[in-house]
């Protein structure tokens, strides 16, 4: 089953064609890589999926829902969650609150239920938050303001927050940037855990150690255009890809 399908999507910023007629799909339970040199339109692709800005043409679908014209929060309710290339946490809130904010009750269910979620701490949401903090080894930092976390912890918190909304599709924008190899290992294990929860993942990443080991399929972008797609080891040997990365 296709979770995400992007068809003929383009996005222009002034003179820059950031995404050029892109096709991309993510299937259920799949971890799909999106790689390419800097400025090739990877983040823009994620931003288009989340509705940060509108696309110029094409269509993006999550399952059978056309995302065109949907607000960002509606896309979140449909099951899209993400992390950011430059970490964006709610700095003044505690670690616990950061995750709590995103728990699934927002805008789901009857009006009374929604209202209740605003005023009460349901046992279920508390458990969900605690579980996520456990998974990301942040339980002992629960009451610290997010802005006081270390870089690695902030990255983990962003992931935890993304998962709190119980997404069906998780978009990761360079989650391993700046990590040492041990942290990359941990991240890999967590991404597998996420997949085991039935969540599909679109992974934008430069760190080959991660991409090659974790993805089922890789798409390569260059100047906004998809230049290759395939299994990790096939991509590794692809001449076009090497040229895009290392120049001719």
Ligand X SMILES: Nc1ncnc2c1ncn2[C@@H]1O[C@H](COP(=O)(O)OP(=O)(O)O)[C@@H](O)[C@H]1O
Q: Measured from the CB of residue 203, what is the shortest distance to Mg ion in angstroms?
A: 12
For another protein, the closer CB: 91 or 192: 91
Name the residue among 208, 151, 152, 201 with its Cα closest to residue 37: 208
Applying CB under 8 A, does 35 fall inside the site for another protein?
no
Residues 3-62 that bind ligand X (CB under 6 A): 13, 16, 18, 36, 38-44
Asked whether the beta carbons of 169 and 62 are under 8 A apart, the reply is: yes
Nearest to 105 by CA among 94, 92, 114: 114
Query: Exactly one of 1, 69, 119, 180 binds another protein (CB under 8 A); which one?
Result: 119
DSSP E strand boundaries for 99-235: 169-173, 200-204, 217-222, 225-230
DSSP state of 197: T
Closer of 11 and 141 to Mg ion (Cβ): 11
The alpha-carbon radius of gyration of the chain (Å, integer) is: 18
Query: CB-wise, 35 or 95, nearer to ligand X?
Result: 35
Distance in Å, CB of 232 to another protein, minimum? 29
Size of the site for another protein (CB under 8 A): 35
Contact track, another protein, 58-97, x by CB under 8 A? -------------xxx-xxx---xx-x---xxxxxx---x
Classified as helix, coil or strand, 16 is strand
Whole-number Å distance between alpha carbons of 125 and 212: 35
Strand partners, 57: 10
- Work out how close the CB of 226 gets to another protein at its nearest, in angstroms, rounded to a whole number: 25
Q: Which is nearer to Mg ion, 43 or 215 (CB)?
A: 43
Q: Among another protein, Mg ion, ligand X, none, what binds residue 50 when CB lies within 5 to 8 Å by partner kind? A: another protein
Size of the site for ligand X (CB under 6 A): 11
Structure tokens at 159: 């992931």
């Amino acid at each position: 089953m296709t979770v995400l399908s992007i068809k003929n999507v383009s996005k222009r910023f002034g003179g820059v064609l950031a995404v050029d007629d892109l096709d991309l799909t993510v299937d259920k339970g799949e971890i799909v890589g999106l790689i390419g040199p800097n400025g090739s339109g990877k983040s823009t692709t994620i931003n288009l999926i989340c509705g940060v800005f509108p696309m110029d043409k094409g269509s993006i679908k999550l399952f059978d829902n056309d995302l065109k014209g949907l607000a960002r929060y509606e896309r979140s309710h449909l099951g899209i969650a993400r992390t950011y290339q430059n970490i964006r946490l709610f700095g003044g809130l505690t670690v616990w609150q950061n995750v709590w904010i995103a728990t699934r009750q927002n805008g789901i269910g009857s009006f009374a239920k929604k209202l209740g979620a605003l005023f009460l701490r349901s046992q279920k949401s508390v458990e969900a938050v605690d579980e996520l903090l456990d998974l990301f080894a942040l339980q002992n930092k629960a009451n610290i303001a997010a802005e006081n976390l270390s870089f690695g912890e902030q990255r983990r918190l962003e992931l935890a927050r993304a998962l709190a909304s119980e997404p069906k599709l998780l978009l990761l924008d360079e989650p391993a940037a700046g990590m040492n190899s041990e942290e990359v290992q941990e991240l890999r294990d967590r991404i597998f855990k996420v997949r085991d929860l039935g969540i599909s993942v679109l992974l934008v990443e430069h760190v080959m150690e991660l991409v090659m080991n974790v993805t089922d399929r890789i798409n390569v972008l260059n100047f906004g255009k998809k230049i290759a797609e395939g299994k990790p080891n096939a991509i590794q040997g692809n001449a076009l890809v090497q040229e895009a990365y290392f120049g001719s």
